[in-house]
C-alpha cells in the first residue's frame, strides 16, 4: 500500500461533460451498434426465478421494502458474510438499485466532508453534488499501488470534522479490491477518525483474483453492525445480471436504516413490487441461488483470464494496478500512441471502429491517458472488440510513421 496521497478539494469531480462519457462509453450518438468494452453490464441472462412472478396485488410497497424480503436479504447476507454476527431485517433497506441508494446515503450524510477515493465510478458525481457536501478526491500517485493504505486514509480523514470515506469495493473503474487485514485496517482508520465508511459493493460477487478465503466485504470485518460507522450497498444489477430489475439494498446500523427509510419514502420510493417479489422468489430458492453463484464464478473466472491474456498481446496498453475484481481493467495508453488524451482516443475508437470504452481522464490528470475496459459482455463480442482496439492502435501509430 502506498505511503502518500494527493488530495483535491472544491468540487473536483468530473472536468469533462458527463454526456460525452456516456456517448463513447455506451452508445454512439446515432445509436449504431457498438462492441461493448464500455458499459459495465453483464452480458448474461438473469436467473429465471427472478422473472417468474405471480402477483395478486400491485399496491404500494411498505416503507423500506416488503418485510419478508428484508428478512430474506438479512439471511442471505448472514449466510455469505456474517455467520456469527448476524444482522436482522432492521439493518436492511430495499432500494431501487445502488444509484438511488447512493443518493440516499449522500442525503443522510448531508454537510459531511466526503473523501471520494479515486479513481471513482463516474456516477458518484450526482449523489454527491446533491448532498451539499464538502468534497475532496483522494488518490494514490503510484500506478502500481492504486489503493491508498489504511494509515494514509486515517491521516487524511483526521484533518476534517465529520469525514466520510466514499468508495466502491471491488472498485469501479480499475478492478482494485481492498480485502483481508487491509480492509479491516481501513475501516479501523475511518472509524478512528470519527468517520463513516460508505462502501458501494455493487460487484461483491466478482472477486476472481482475490486470494481464496480473504474477506472482501466490509460486512465480514465489522463487529456489531448496529454500532458500526458504515453503510454498505448491494445491487441485483451486477451480481444477479439484472440491471433492469432496479433493485438492491443498503445495510447499516438500524438507527441509520430507519432514518434512511423515512428519506426513501420522499426521495426515491422503494422498488416496484414486481422486482421485490422476483427477488424474494429467487432468494427463497437456495438451489437456484447456488447454481447462479457457481455459474457466475466460472464464467467470470474464465472471461477474466481470457481478457488478461489477450490484453497482454496488445502493444501499447499497460494494465493499471492489480485488477482483482469487478469486471474492469484500467489501462494506460502508451505515449507513442498519438492521441491528445483518453477521451479523444475513446471517442475516435467508438465513432470510427464501433468499440465503446470509458475514458478515465475525468478522474484527474493522473489518469489523462487511462481508459476503462469492461469484460462484462459475452466473450465473442469482447474478442472482436479487443481485436479492433488492437488494430486501431496499430493504425494510429502508423499514421505518424
Written as nine digits, the cell of 54 is: 405471480
Residue, CB closest to ligand PLP: 97
> How many angstroms separate the first and last alpha carbons of the chain?
40
Cα–Cα distance measured from residue 42 to residue 393, given in angstroms and rounded to the nearest whole number: 26
The DSSP element (H or E) to which 372 belongs, if any, is: strand 370-374
Shortest Å distance, C-beta 104 to ligand PLP: 12
Cα–Cα distance measured from residue 300 to residue 180, given in angstroms and rounded to the nearest whole number: 21
Closest CB to ligand PLP among residues 234, 347: 234
Closest CB to ligand PLP among residues 168, 264: 168
Compute the CA torsion angle 102, 230, 252, 239 (nearest 10 deg): 60
Q: Compute and round to an integer the Cα radius of gyration of the chain.
A: 21
Closest CB to ligand PLP among residues 244, 338: 244
Closest CB to ligand PLP among residues 95, 281: 95
Shortest Å distance, C-beta 371 to ligand PLP: 16
Cα–Cα distance measured from residue 195 to residue 383, given in angstroms and rounded to the nearest whole number: 44
Closest CB to ligand PLP among residues 91, 237: 237
CB 340 within 8 A of CB 322: no
Closest CB to ligand PLP among residues 72, 245: 245
Shortest Å distance, C-beta 40 to ligand PLP: 4
CA angle 215, 217, 221 (to 5 degrees): 70
- Which parts of this chain interact with ligand PLP (CB under 6 A)? 40, 97-99, 121, 168, 172, 200, 202, 235, 237, 243, 248
Shortest Å distance, C-beta 239 to ligand PLP: 10
Shortest Å distance, C-beta 13 to ligand PLP: 14
Shortest Å distance, C-beta 212 to ligand PLP: 24
Cα–Cα distance measured from residue 105 to residue 101, given in angstroms and rounded to the nearest whole number: 6
Q: Write out 319-341 in H/E/C secondary structure.
A: ECCCCCCCCEEEEEECCCCCCCC
The DSSP element (H or E) to which 288 belongs, if any, is: helix 286-312
Cα–Cα distance measured from residue 234 to residue 219, given in angstroms and rounded to the nearest whole number: 11
Closest CB to ligand PLP among residues 18, 243: 243
Cα–Cα distance measured from residue 369 to residue 26, given in angstroms and rounded to the nearest whole number: 19
Helix (H, G, I), strand (E, B) or coil at 60: coil
Among residues 119, 180, 112, which one has the least CA distance to residue 150? 180
Closest CB to ligand PLP among residues 117, 154: 117
Shortest Å distance, C-beta 241 to ligand PLP: 11
Shortest Å distance, C-beta 386 to ligand PLP: 21
Amino acid at each position: 500500500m502506498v505511503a502518500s496521497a494527493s488530495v483535491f478539494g472544491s468540487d473536483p469531480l468530473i472536468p469533462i461533460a458527463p454526456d460525452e462519457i456516456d456517448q463513447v462509453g455506451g452508445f454512439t450518438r446515432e445509436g449504431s451498434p457498438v462492441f461493448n468494452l464500455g458499459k459495465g453490464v453483464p452480458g448474461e441472462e438473469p436467473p429465471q426465478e427472478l422473472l417468474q412472478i405471480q402477483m395478486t396485488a400491485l399496491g404500494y410497497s411498505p416503507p423500506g421494502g416488503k418485510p419478508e424480503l428484508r428478512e430474506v436479504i438479512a439471511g442471505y447476507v448472514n449466510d455469505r458474510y456474517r455467520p456469527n454476527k448476524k444482522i436482522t431485517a432492521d439493518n436492511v433497506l430495499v432500494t431501487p438499485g445502488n444509484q438511488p441508494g447512493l443518493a440516499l446515503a449522500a442525503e443522510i450524510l448531508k454537510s459531511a466532508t466526503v473523501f471520494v477515493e479515486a479513481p471513482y465510478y463516474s456516477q458518484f458525481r450526482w449523489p454527491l453534488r446533491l448532498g451539499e457536501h464538502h468534497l475532496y478526491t483522494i488518490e494514490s500517485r503510484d500506478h502500481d499501488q492504486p489503493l491508498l493504505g489504511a494509515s494514509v486514509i486515517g491521516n487524511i480523514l483526521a484533518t476534517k470534522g465529520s469525514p466520510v470515506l466514499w468508495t466502491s469495493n471491488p472498485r469501479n473503474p480499475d478492478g482494485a479490491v481492498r480485502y483481508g487485514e487491509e480492509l479491516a485496517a481501513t475501516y479501523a482508520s475511518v472509524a478512528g477518525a470519527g468517520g463513516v465508511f460508505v462502501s458501494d459493493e455493487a460487484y461483491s460477487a466478482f472477486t476472481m483474483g482475490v486470494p481464496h478465503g480473504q474477506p472482501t466485504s466490509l460486512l465480514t470485518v465489522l463487529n456489531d453492525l448496529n454500532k458500526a460507522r458504515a453503510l454498505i450497498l448491494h445491487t441485483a444489477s451486477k451480481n444477479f445480471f439484472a440491471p433492469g430489475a432496479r433493485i438492491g439494498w443498503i445495510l447499516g446500523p438500524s438507527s441509520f436504516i430507519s432514518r434512511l427509510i423515512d428519506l426513501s419514502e420522499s426521495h426515491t420510493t422503494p422498488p416496484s413490487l414486481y422486482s421485490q417479489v422476483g427477488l424474494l422468489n429467487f432468494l427463497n430458492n437456495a438451489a437456484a441461488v447456488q447454481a447462479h453463484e457457481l455459474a457466475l464464478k466460472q464464467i467470470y473466472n474464465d472471461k477474466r483470464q481470457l481478457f488478461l491474456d489477450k490484453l497482454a498481446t496488445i502493444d501499447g496498453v499497460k494494465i493499471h494496478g492489480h485488477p482483482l475484481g469487478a469486471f474492469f481493467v484500467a489501462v494506460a495508453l502508451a505515449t507513442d500512441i498519438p492521441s491528445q488524451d483518453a477521451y479523444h482516443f475513446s471517442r475516435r475508437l467508438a465513432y470510427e471502429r464501433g468499440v465503446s470504452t470509458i475514458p478515465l481522464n475525468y478522474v484527474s490528470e493522473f489518469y489523462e491517458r487511462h481508459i476503462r475496459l469492461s469484460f462484462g459482455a459475452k466473450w465473442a463480442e469482447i474478442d472482436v472488440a479487443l481485436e479492433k482496439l488492437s488494430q486501431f492502435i496499430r493504425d494510429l501509430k502508423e499514421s505518424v510513421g
